Structure 1
Amino acid sequence: MALSSVAAALEGPRTMRRHPASLLVWGAFYWAALMLLWVLLYVAFGEEVRRDLAQTHFTADPKEVLDLVKHLGGAMALLILLAAAICAVLAGAILRSVLHPEQSRAAYLRLGADEVRLFVVALITWLAALFVTAIPSGLLTLLTATVAGAGASGLAGWIAFIGGLAVIGLSMWVGVRLSLLSPQTFAEGRINLREAWVLTHGHFWGLLGMFVLNLFMAVVLTPIVFWMFGGLLTGAIALIGGGSKLFVLLGLLANLLIAPLAFTVQTVILTAGPARAYRQLHPDI
């Protein structure tokens, strides 16, 4: 079982090159889902709550998160579940294009048992992030503030530095060890946390290298490319329209359509990589 970090990391661009029409459909799906969420946000939350959300400065403090969820009530939980469902459907399509490329009907989009299992995996992933990243970060912030308030600012700095490294290390370790849970669940038709954990044993550094490359492409290269493309497109539309308000609005609309496509590209990069890594570790697939 050989794992190639570079080959796995480049699976996202290869997937988009093989299925350009599917990429556009995925982008349209995400755009429609985003519009639905905005409508639900407008209906579920009153004007006062929307204003509070806009003015909220989020931190890693668990108490702040719990207070926000309590303030928003069940509507927030519903929106979170809907967002997870949307991510599950999109992830299912991407995984299907990598693991079962022959199932190309409807741009690989489905709504079935695979997507339900991926929905559960998304919730498990969010819970894992809460327990290994958000809560430890909040506790570290509280401890640092308490020590600093007692007058030991030097010690507080060291606690923040060492504790921060520990939280980052823990998050990376758990994230990599569970990184193949989605493709494994999709391929095997069942959720098995223990098996997913064991599967990554001995491949930590290779998978970490893959994720570093994936994050660079998704977080650095993709925004730059789409920012340049959006700027050129807006400039071209403004030039053609001679600065008229109609063409300015068309330029803004074009950028609104580009943003969901950029997010879709990022999702493909971050989802296809682990799928290729799983396939490398299971050459019989």
Structure 2
Amino acid sequence: MINAFMQTRVSSSRLPSKVLKNLHGLPMFVQQAKRIQQCKKIDKLIVITSTEKSDDILEVICKENNLLCFRGDLNNVLSRYYYAQLAYPCEHVVRVTADCPVIDSALIDHVINAHLINSNDYTSNCLKSTFPDGLDTEVISKHALLDAYKYAKKPSELEHVTPFIRNNPQKYQLQNIQSETDLSNHRWTVDEPEDFALISAIYDHLYTQNHYFNYQDILHLLSLKPELSSINAQFSRNEGMLKSLKQDKEEGYE
């Protein structure tokens, strides 16, 4: 059994309520959920949000769109994953964040395949970033998730779920899936207004023809309209993680 957990909240610090933004007639996180549901290797998709009142609306929207929803701790996202896995038991968890509305189902399946074939504890396409930001996919074995829940202490480990596993390669079998060409300069995640402007433009050009366009379709579009990539070119990758690592140091962790 393989379940995908899509972590979602309304109270984003950089772009509040971004997951609720209208993206071609649906809330952005619902569009992303529908893309993940195209995966052939995933048994269930569960939207995992917090118990905060601000996230009540997410549970309502999930019910309206026949999406499973689990609620847990706002800041200790790792614990949210752990308890979601208890509520929806599975041998492997696919971790995705709800700010990636062009995530690619075929790429997710590719990462899952590698994870299963090689009996990995952790497999992702972002241990070393070679794919566009916004296609990040992580697959975690149940026992590795349990270990992380038991032993992770740093704020970055609790917020970003997988650093404890990734930072212990001597204990866990890790694998990174790389793109044949380095595409890491592309930013297709949504953290800033400019990010959403780019995603909206991509949907405007591709969605009508194929609701589930893939990342190669986006690359082709950007080759024809390179000016689109400049919309959000000023932002750097992994700003949230850098903020968490700073918090680690402030709390005395190396």
Higher relative contact order, structure no. (Cα contacts within 8 Å, ≥ 6 residues apart): 1
Q: State the TM-score, normalizing by the size of structure 1.
A: 0.26
More strand by share: 2
Q: State the TM-score, normalizing by the size of structure 2.
A: 0.29
- The higher radius of gyration belongs to 1
